[in-house]
Structures are given as structure tokens and as C-alpha cells.
Amino acid sequence: MMIWLLLLSSVPLSLMPSLPVQASAADLARYRVLGPATRVEREQVVATGAEIEAFGATGLDVLATPAQAIAIERLGFQVHKRPSSLASGEVDPAYHTYAEMVTAVEQIAVAYPNIVQLFSIGRSYEGRNLLAARISDNPTIDEAEPEALFVGMYHAREPLSGEMILDLLRMLTAGYDPNQPEAAITRLVNEREIILVFMLNPDGREYDIETGFYRYWRKNRQPDPMLEGINGTDPNRNHSYRWGGLGASSNPFSETYRGIAPRSAPEVAAIEDFVISRVISGTQQIRVAISFHTYGALVLWPYGHQGVAECGLPAADMFNIDRAVFRQLGREMARLINYTPLQSCELYQTNGDFSDWAYGTQRIFAFTFEMYPAIDQVGFGDGFYPPGSVIERETQRVRPAVLYLLEQAECPYALVAATPTRCAAVNWKIWIPHLRHEQ
């Protein structure tokens, strides 16, 4: 850590003039804040109005106005302006555009018709297909197999997350050998139904890259009905579980704008409806899920909505055994790929995100991965657009965690239950009492 500390160029913030609170986007800059290590300290940074973009063991990367940066410095933290700007960076052609992603996925599907079925979960605001793949033996038949869901690119400026889903498609197809049914990937494809959603936010992705230079666009491309122009909704704050309140913004200009209503973003409504459609005879078929983001090298699990006082304590609507399963799965996945495991609210409060919704309403063991880099692994740059040269390394790095989660999807409770055979011995639906109640 000391090495990159020395590379930082400190800005004499005390010399900067104070600005009005409602600064325009042009005033925003990216800063690294060194020092905040606890949830309370991170909340202090958030309270200045700065937006946290990534977390690390030693501090935070934030988007802030100069006035907010001064306020953060007054909290006693070191604030360093980072060299990247809102308009810098040529688009890296190593990452797939939406059209290239569709083509790449279709080519693989054609090559592996016996285990891949493509479908659409709906359309984006601008009408793009939200492309998905189901991977299983007999992929066109709904078999009684545990299902797993992996979603990429909720956020437009996180293209590595879309490459991650494509990598999973490649791993599961190239690794499938019907002549070796006991090999791990073949067995998991045969015994699971694996659903991949490649780019949940294709409109944002296209907008982010259309000039040839990255725009750092995060949200979807939905106009706010009360405002002129397109401000966009943060799809990962728009889910319909505990939407609103602290942990997301009601300001349409915020990077974490929650939207005008729960699931008002068509992309969010599409994925919620798809997941809900997997409830068969009162039993949610999807047992595990990962939503991929960048950056921070973190494995996160619900809940994010718990405030400072409640974080770490049992939530009223989470079973203790589920808390234990989340911890066990999260820690083991993080260990396998050298990420940091955390309950989401340990970072700071969020609500309306996918993982909270997927567990809070569907009892899915849903995780958020903040992929490469960790903020102190890349010196001083920001981590939204890693060079194309690391795509293969950083997506394949995550594979062991995904394979582990797929393995555990058969019975996550076996990790913590006194009687590990319980999942096999009883019907999943009966074993999870709250699903029975929701019938």
C-alpha cells in the first residue's frame, strides 16, 4: 500500500473555494479518500453528499464536488484527487459492445444446441432485447433441478461484469463432455439449470461508449418524467424490496437515483418478473444467484438495507440459518478467488438492490460480486475500465467461486445444518417455511 501512496498527487484542497451544494456535473471529480475503515466512518463520508464508487481496506474511491472533498478532509481523512476525469479514456475494443455480445452468445449457442437455449427476459427502455441463456442438459425442458442465476452489467460503466457472464457461457459449454458425466462442469450442467443474463443495462452500455470515449455512465437511459433530458435510473437501487429511504437517492441527478417508483426501470421489472416466473407450485426454483459489478474485489451478501445500528444483527425477515449460510457461502467463495467477504451493510446502507430483493422476496441466496480491481491493487487509477488484457485473467479468476456456488445449490443448508442430509430428505418447499406461507 505504501508504494502507491507515494504516487498520489495531493491537491491543496484548503485553497479551493467553497461551492454551492447543488453543483453541476462539471464540478464533479474523482477522489481517493484514505482513512475511512469502519461503517460509521464511511457513513460520515456519504453524509457530505459524495458518492462512493468503490471500497477498499484502506479507504474509498468517491465522486465529489470540491466542496464535498473539503468536507471529507475536515472529517480527518486524506483526500487525493485522481487523474481520471469524467470524459477521459478511449473505449477499449477488447470489451464487447451490445451487438458484439449478442453475436458472440449466438455463435456459442449454435455450437452447443444440446445444452444452450437462448431467450429474452424482456426489453430495455430503448427496446433492446435483454438476452439470456439457459444451460442444462435438455435446456428446453424444465426439469426438477436446482436453478442458478448470474447477471451482468446492471451498471453501464462496469463492462468487465458483462464479460464475466460471457466467460461463464464459455466455461460451461467448452467444459461440457457428455462422455465424462462425472467431470465437475459436465455434472453441474446435467444436474442444474443455469441461467445467464448477459447485459441487464444495454442502453447504458451503448451510451457509455458511443462517442469512442468512456462517459462513466452508470444508470439506464430512462428519462425522468419531471425533468428535461435523460437522467437515468440506477437499476441496482430500483428493486421492489424496501425501495426508498436511506441507501439510495431520490435526486434524479444522483448516480444512485432510485427511480420514481419500485421497479419503474423496465430492465428491473423484466428481471423481477423472470425470477418470479421461476416459482413453480409455490417453490422458487432459483436457489443461488450472483449479480456482477466492478470494482473492489468483494463478495457481498444481504442485507444492505440495514442501518448502522442493525447491521450485523439478525434481520426480522432473515432466518438465522440463512444468515449462517450466507456467511459460509460468501466467505468460502471469497477465499477461493482472493476477494474480501462482507455482509453488504458493513460497507454502507443500500436499498433496492438485486441481492436484497432476491433474498428478501424469493429466499434466493443472492450475492453481489465487485470484481477486479481492489482499490489498492491498481495504484491510483480507477477500476471501472481495466485494460482488455486482464479480461481473461479476471473472469477466469472468478470461476472457482461460481463452480462452488453451483455445487452448493443442491443444498446450501448442508453447510450449516446439524443433519446435512436434510435437504435431500425433505421437499425444499417444506424445508423453507416462509415460501410455504407465501403460496
* Shortest reach from residue 236's CB to Zn ion, in Å: 6
The vertex-204 CA angle with 201 and 208, nearest 5°, equals 140
* Shortest reach from residue 295's CB to Zn ion, in Å: 9
Three cell numbers written together for 57: 481496506
Judge whether 370 counts as a catalytic residue.
Answer: yes
Backbone angles phi, psi at 61, to 5 degrees: -105, 130
Q: Which is nearer to Zn ion, 73 or 353 (CB)?
A: 353
Binding mask 240-279 for Zn ion (x = CB under 5 A): ----------------------------------------
Task: Kindly state whether residue 155 participates in binding Zn ion, applying the rule CB under 5 A.
Answer: yes
Q: Which is nearer to Zn ion, 154 or 380 (CB)?
A: 154
- Site residues for Zn ion, 280-299, by CB under 5 A, read 293
User: How many other CB atoms are there within 10 angstroms of residue 356's CB atom?
Assistant: 28
Of 193, 255, 370, 394, the catalytic one is 370
> Which of the stretches 19-27, 147-155, 284-292, 429-437 binds Zn ion when contact is defined by CB under 5 A?
147-155
Task: Kindly state whether residue 82 participates in binding Zn ion, applying the rule CB under 5 A.
Answer: no
Q: How far is CA 186 from CA 4, 110, 179, 226, in A?
A: 43, 18, 9, 51
Task: Kindly state whether residue 205 participates in binding Zn ion, applying the rule CB under 5 A.
Answer: no
Distance CA 381, CA 149 (A): 31
- Site residues for Zn ion, 157-176, by CB under 5 A, read 158
* Shortest reach from residue 418's CB to Zn ion, in Å: 37
Q: Which is nearer to Zn ion, 29 or 160 (CB)?
A: 160
Distance CA 240, CA 246 (A): 15
Three cell numbers written together for 132: 439470456
Distance CA 375, CA 407 (A): 30
Q: Which is nearer to Zn ion, 105 or 371 (CB)?
A: 371
User: How many other CB atoms are there within 10 angstroms of residue 1's CB atom?
Assistant: 11
Distance CA 31, CA 50 (A): 10
* Shortest reach from residue 154's CB to Zn ion, in Å: 6
Task: Kindly state whether residue 219 participates in binding Zn ion, applying the rule CB under 5 A.
Answer: no
Torsion of CA 151, 154, 156, 158, to 10 degrees: -60
* Shortest reach from residue 3's CB to Zn ion, in Å: 27
Q: Which parts of this chain interact with Zn ion (CB under 5 A)?
A: 155, 158, 293
Active site residues: 370
